[in-house]
C-alpha cells in the first residue's frame, strides 16, 4: 500500500474519508478538527504528502512556495472566523515528541478563547 493510501490526511484530500471541509484549492485544504481544542479549531493542510517540517526538502522551491500560500490562507480563514481582533494561535507540531499524531504536515488554527504562553 502506498504512503498516500495509508495517510489519513491524504485520504481526506482524496475524498476517501468524510470531513467538514471549509476551504480547498489546488494545493491546500482546510478542515474542522474532529476533536476541537478551542471554539475555532481548523487544520490547514497542504495536499502534497510531507511528513513534517523536519522532512522538508530545502531545495524544493515549490513546496516552500506552497507553505507561504498556506500561511496566506490561514490569515484569510482567521479573518473569516472573526479572529483578527481577538487573536489566534497557530501551531505546527513536528514529531511525536512535540505532540504530532498525524504524520502529514498540517497547521492548527485555534481561536475564540485565550491562550497561555509558553504552551505546555
Query: DSSP class of residue 98?
Result: G
Judged by beta carbon, residue 7 or residue 67, the one nearer Zn ion is: 7
For position 34 contacting ligand AMP by CB under 6 A, the verdict is yes
CA torsion sign for 56, 59, 62, 64 is: positive
Q: Which of 19, 70, 74, 104 binds Zn ion (CB under 5 A)?
A: 104
Q: Establish whether 104 is a catalytic residue.
A: no
User: Closest distance between Zn ion and the C-beta of residue 20, in Å?
Assistant: 18
Q: How far apart are CA 8 and CA 12, in angstroms?
A: 6
- Residue 7's binding partner among Zn ion, ligand AMP, none (Cβ under 5 to 8 angstroms by kind) is Zn ion
* CA 18 to chain CA mean position, Å: 17
Helix, strand, coil percent content, the chain, rounded in steps of 5: 30, 20, 50
Q: Which residues are catalytic?
A: 106
Q: Which positions touch ligand AMP (CB under 6 A)?
A: 8, 19, 31, 33-35, 43, 93, 99-102
Amino acid at each position: 500500500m502506498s504512503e498516500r493510501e495509508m495517510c489519513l490526511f491524504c485520504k481526506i484530500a482524496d475524498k476517501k474519508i468524510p470531513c467538514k471541509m471549509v476551504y480547498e484549492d489546488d494545493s491546500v485544504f482546510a478542515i474542522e478538527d474532529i476533536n476541537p481544542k478551542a471554539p475555532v479549531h481548523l487544520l490547514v493542510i497542504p495536499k502534497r504528502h510531507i511528513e513534517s517540517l523536519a522532512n522538508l526538502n530545502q531545495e524544493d522551491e515549490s513546496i516552500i512556495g506552497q507553505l507561504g500560500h498556506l500561511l496566506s490562507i490561514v490569515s484569510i480563514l482567521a479573518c473569516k472566523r472573526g479572529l483578527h481582533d481577538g487573536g489566534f494561535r497557530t501551531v505546527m507540531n513536528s514529531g511525536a515528541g512535540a505532540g504530532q499524531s498525524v504524520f502529514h504536515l498540517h497547521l492548527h488554527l485555534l481561536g475564540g478563547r485565550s491562550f497561555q504562553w509558553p504552551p505546555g
